[in-house]
Structure 1
Amino acid sequence: MRIVVLGVGNILLSDEGVGVHAVNRLVELYDLPEEVDVIDGGTSGMDCLDQVSEADHLIIADCMRAKKEPGTITRLTGDQIPAFFKTRISPHQVGLSDMLGALNFHGMMPKNIVLFGVEPLSFDLSMEPTPVVGARLADLVELLVGELAEIGIAVAKKAA
């Protein structure tokens, strides 16, 4: 089984970088088995095409405008994800939706896709998320760990 955890976002624009911060923290805090590839996708979805193609599971962490309270985490799966891209949900959305479209077109779509999106408060120039989104970062990491557990991948926290 091949699993990819992909963090997307621009870490220079405060809340826009929450997905990248989440996957970096996941790697920092947890020992992950070799069948789990963790990728900092930045803002270049198409550059990740080969890395995510034909994965059994693709788990994406990103910021996402869902017209909810800032810091709200939304989980989308399967057909919910392409439908959500009909409206712009993040500044780099074109890269992510193009990547998924290219994977689909070439018949290389991951078997299962889950997207965790965090409602942003700000895209101001800053390398740190706003306090409201930053406060949800640990929850987002735990959701990623929980998603891995759902598909049968147990991860353990690294020793201090």
Structure 2
Amino acid sequence: MSASASPRVLVLGIGNLLWADEGFGVRCVEALAERFEFPEQVTLMDGGTQGLYLLPYVEEADCLLVFDAVDYGDAPGTLREVCGAEVPRFMGAKKMSLHQTGFQEVLASAELLGRLPRELVLIGCQPVELEDYGGSLRDEVKAMIGPSLELACEWLARWGAPASPRSSGAPRLNESSLAMDVYEAGRPSEAEACRFGDARFLNED
């Protein structure tokens, strides 16, 4: 990239929507895409649990911002901002699921190949609940989406890619059936739903 070129920015939301607060990162990048538009050098992506499949996208980025639910050992719902070399260390300190192992490998592989983005930022939230298959974000975690977007927009502006409020609808980053309002509307009440399973995703034999 020439000195005058705008840095290529990748904003990733990673995690698993099916396991309650594990979906925090994906919900953040969805909300960012819904509320704002950015210059063309910015890519917003639902990285889900794709692990090493994300490597080519990470390699192409000059600046990488990741939203994720991360177990820091903080009070539930606590938001943290981690930068630079601390990002891989924080993501690997206490893995909550395989997606974090996979993404830590993505960062390690990019570094080994000499293609790690020059700037790394992790915006992470301490989960309240993970063991609720088919559940959605708990209130304490959902409340952190707005502050997370504010932090993200500050970083994007610093990288020369300021946010502009959207005046019209945004294309979805994933299936419309996964939109949070639709997803939550299809979930039975906590009294009716099995905490460790959801009929929407379990086969009945």
- Where on the TM-score scale, by shorter chain, does this alignment land: which range? over 0.9
Greater fraction of residues in strand: 1
Q: Which runs of 4+ in 1 moved over 4 A?
A: none
Corresponding letter in the other structure for 2:161: I
1:153 equivalent in alignment to 2:167: no
Alpha-carbon distance change, 159 to 86 in structure 1, aligned in 2, over 3 angstroms: closer
Instruction: Flag the structure with larger Rg.
Output: 2
Q: Which of 96, 101, 104 in structure 1 is aligned with 2:103?
A: 96
| Structure 1: segments with no counterpart, 5+ residues | none
Corresponding letter in the other structure for 2:109: A
Corresponding letter in the other structure for 2:103: L
TM-score by length of 2: 0.74
The 2-side partners of 1:18 and 1:156 are apart by 23
Partner in structure 1 of residue 151 of structure 2? 143
Q: Which of 127, 141, 147 in structure 2 is aligned with 1:133?
A: 141
Corresponding letter in the other structure for 2:158: E
Highest relative contact order (Cα 8 Å, sep 6+), 1 or 2?
1
| Structure 2: segments with no counterpart, 5+ residues | 1-6, 169-205
Partner in structure 1 of residue 197 of structure 2? none
Give the Å deviation of 1:105: 1.1
The 1-side partners of 2:57 and 2:37 are apart by 20
Q: Residue 54 of structure 1 contacts residue 111 of structure 1 at CA under 8 Å; is this kept in 2?
A: no
Partner in structure 2 of residue 56 of structure 1? 62
Q: Determine helix, strand or coil for the equivalent of 1:53.
A: helix
Give the Å deviation of 1:127: 4.4
Alpha-carbon distance change, 104 to 128 in structure 1, aligned in 2, over 3 angstroms: same
Q: Which of 24, 34, 41 in structure 1 is aligned with 2:40?
A: 34
What's the Cα RMSD here? 1.4
How many pairs are equivalent?
A: 160
The 2-side partners of 1:32 and 1:127 are apart by 31
